[in-house]
Chains A and B, each alone.
Chain A
Amino acid sequence: MRDVAVIAFAQMPNVRAETVLNEVEMLMPVIRDVRGRAGLDQQQIGFTCSGSTDYLSGQAFSFVSTLDGVGPWPPIQESHVEMDGAWALYEAWVKLQLGDVDTALVYCYGKSAPGPLHEVLSRQLDPYHVAPLWPDAISLAALQARAMLDAGKAREEDFCEVAARSRRNAMNNPNAQLAWSVSEYDLINEEPLVDPLRKSDCPPTTDGASAVVLAAGDRARELCRRPAWIRGIDHRIEPMALGMRDLTVSASTRLAGTKAGATGTYDVAELHAPFSHQELILREALSLGDHGNVNPSGGALAANPVMVAGLTRIGEVAQRIMDGTATRGVAHATSGPCLQQNLVTVLEGDS
C-alpha cells in the first residue's frame, strides 16, 4: 500500500439556500482555495474526482458543466461519483494506490434547497414497494429513532444531549449554518416534529461545497508540513429493504471500521449523523463509548449539505491533524436512508 494523505481541505460557508450563484459559480472559490492551500495548479494534479447528484439540481449530467469550474483544459484525468464526496475521495485513494499519479483533487457540492429535499431523497428507495409511498427522510429517521427507544438502547434525553452539544460545538465553527446554545434540558420540552424526533434532532437544509487534495508518499511531505495520512479506509453497504436490517445498529459501519483499523484512541472523531439518534448508533458501531471529542465541528446537525457532509467530516479531522491540534482521528460518512451505507477512515499525523 502507498501512503496517501490529505494535504489540503477547503469548504464554503454552509448556507440555507444559495439563491444567486449556480453550482459552478458556487464551487469555483472552493476549488481555488483548496488548490491554493496545496500549492498546486490544475495541471499539476494527477486525478480529479467529484461527488454530486443530478437529483438535487434537477438536471441531467449537471456535474459536466460544473467541471468547467475546475479548468479542465488541457484535458485532465477525471471521474465522478453520484455519491457524497467521501466516496469520490475513496475512488481517488484507489487511483493513487495504482501508482501512476501522485496527487488528486476531490470535490463535491450539493444544493439541497432547489428541490423538495425530503421527496428528492425518497427517490433513492426501493422503486417498487417503498418509493411510491414517498416516505420523507425525517419520517424514516423517526422510525429508526423509535426502534432505538423501543429496544431500550436510548432515551429521548440522549437524543437531546446530542442535538444540544452539536449546536454548541458549532458555535466555534465559522462555516456552520446552525449554531446555538440551548441546554438539553430545555430541548426535551420541544414539541415532536415527527415523533419521537424534535426539530432539534433533525439536520438543517443546506447548500454547500467542500474539497480536499490528496497526495502520496514523498509528494505529500513536500507539499504539506504535516500531512494527514489515511491509515485505513473502507466502506460497506447494507440491504435496500429497511425491514431486512436491525435499524438500531449499524453493521456496515462496524465492519468498515474493523477493515479500516478503527480501534484504539482518537483525539477527534467526526461522524456523519444527520439525525441526533444516529450519533449514538455510530458511537456504538465504532466503539467510541463516551469519547469526549465527537463532532467538534457540530457535524451534520450544524450543516448538512447533501453529497458534501461526508467529505467535510474527513476534511474536519484532516484539518485538525494538519494544523497540529490532533494526531489521530476517525471520520465517517453515510449515504442512503437510516445509515444504509457507511465509510470509515482513520487519519494520523506524524508524531
Chain B
Amino acid sequence: MPDITLPASLDGVELVRSVRTPARMEYTYTAGVATTRFLKGLAQGKILGERAQGGKVYVPSRGADPQLGVPTTEQVDLPHVGTLVSFCVVNVAFYGQGMEIPYTSGLILLDGSDLPLMHLIQECPVEDVHIGMRVEAVWVDASDLGPTLESIRYFRPNGEPDVPVRQPGEGVTW
C-alpha cells in the first residue's frame, strides 16, 4: 500500500482501521396462498402439506410443484410423527441464536410426506441423536398456538423402533 501523507491537522490522530455501519430494514412478508394455509394450520395444531399432481406431498409448501411448475391445490393433514433423515449438532454460538449450545437441528420426514421439515430435536442428549430415529412433535399449549412454526416447540424421540435409513436424506422420494 502506498504511504499516506496526512495533513498536519491530523498529526497524531489514530488511523481508522475498521468502521461499523449497521443496517436494519423492515419488510412486510407476503407468505403466499399455500404457505398461508400451512401457517393457519399450525395455529389450529395441524401440519398441512400440499399434494402435487404427481402424488408427492410437500411440507412446508411455497405453492409450486417443483416437478411441473404448477400450483399445488390439495391439502393433506399430516401426522405429527416422522423419521429423522439427517441432523446437525450445533456447537458454535452465533448472533441471534437464542438456544443453548450444543443443540440439534434435524430434518424430519413426516409420515406421508416427501419433503423433510427442519426443526429442533430435544429431550434427547445430542450424542444419542441418530438418523432413522422416530420422532414426534411437541406443541406449545393450545392457548399459545399461532400461525408460526414455533407452535411446534420441537420434536422428540417417540420410542418407536428405528426405521432403516442407509444414507442421510433417504426416504425423501422423487
**Residues on A close to B: CB < 8 A?**
18-25, 28, 31-32, 42, 57-58, 65, 67-73, 111, 113-116, 119-120, 123, 127-128, 131-132
* Complex contact A42–B69 (CB within 8 A): yes
Contacts of A111 in B (CB 8 A): 30
Chain B contact patch, size range: 20 to 34
* Complex contact A127–B35 (CB within 8 A): no
Question: In the complex where A28-B71, A128-B21, A132-B21 touch, is A115 in contact with B26 (Cβ < 8 A)?
Answer: yes
Contacts of A123 in B (CB 8 A): 23
Question: B96: CB under 8 A from chain A?
Answer: no
Question: B168: CB under 8 A from chain A?
Answer: no
Question: B63: CB under 8 A from chain A?
Answer: yes
Contacts of B26 in A (CB 8 A): 115-116
* Complex contact A128–B19 (CB within 8 A): yes
* Complex contact B63–A25 (CB within 8 A): yes
Main secondary structure of the interface of B (DSSP, over half): loop
* Complex contact A25–B27 (CB within 8 A): no
Contacts of A31 in B (CB 8 A): 69
**A305, chain B: closest CB distance, angstroms:** 15
Nearest A residue to B61, CB-CB: A68
Contacts of B30 in A (CB 8 A): 18-22, 111, 114
CA–CA, A65 to B69, complex, Å? 11
CA–CA, A127 to B19, complex, Å? 10
Question: In the complex where A25-B33, A128-B21 touch, is A70 in contact with B69 (Cβ < 8 A)?
Answer: yes
**B96, chain A: closest CB distance, angstroms:** 14
Question: In the complex where A28-B69, A71-B66 touch, is A58 in contact with B33 (Cβ < 8 A)?
Answer: no
* Complex contact B65–A68 (CB within 8 A): yes
* Nearest 5 interchain pairs by C-beta: A22-B32, A71-B69, A58-B27, A68-B64, A68-B66
CA–CA, A137 to B31, complex, Å? 27
Question: In the complex where A31-B69, A114-B28 touch, is A22 in contact with B63 (Cβ < 8 A)?
Answer: yes
**B71, chain A: closest CB distance, angstroms:** 6
Question: In the complex where A25-B71, A115-B27 touch, is A72 in contact with B66 (Cβ < 8 A)?
Answer: yes
CA–CA, A145 to B87, complex, Å? 55
Nearest A residue to B24, CB-CB: A119
Nearest A residue to B69, CB-CB: A71
Contact of A114 among B21, B29, B71, B174 (CB under 8 A): B29
Nearest B residue to A22, CB-CB: B32
Nearest A residue to B20, CB-CB: A132
**B153, chain A: closest CB distance, angstroms:** 24
Question: In the complex where A20-B33, A24-B32 touch, is A131 in contact with B21 (Cβ < 8 A)?
Answer: yes
* Complex contact B64–A69 (CB within 8 A): yes
Q: Which residue of B23, B30, B67 has the most chain A CB atoms within 10 A of its CB atom?
A: B30
Question: In the complex where A32-B69, A69-B69 touch, is A25 in contact with B34 (Cβ < 8 A)?
Answer: yes
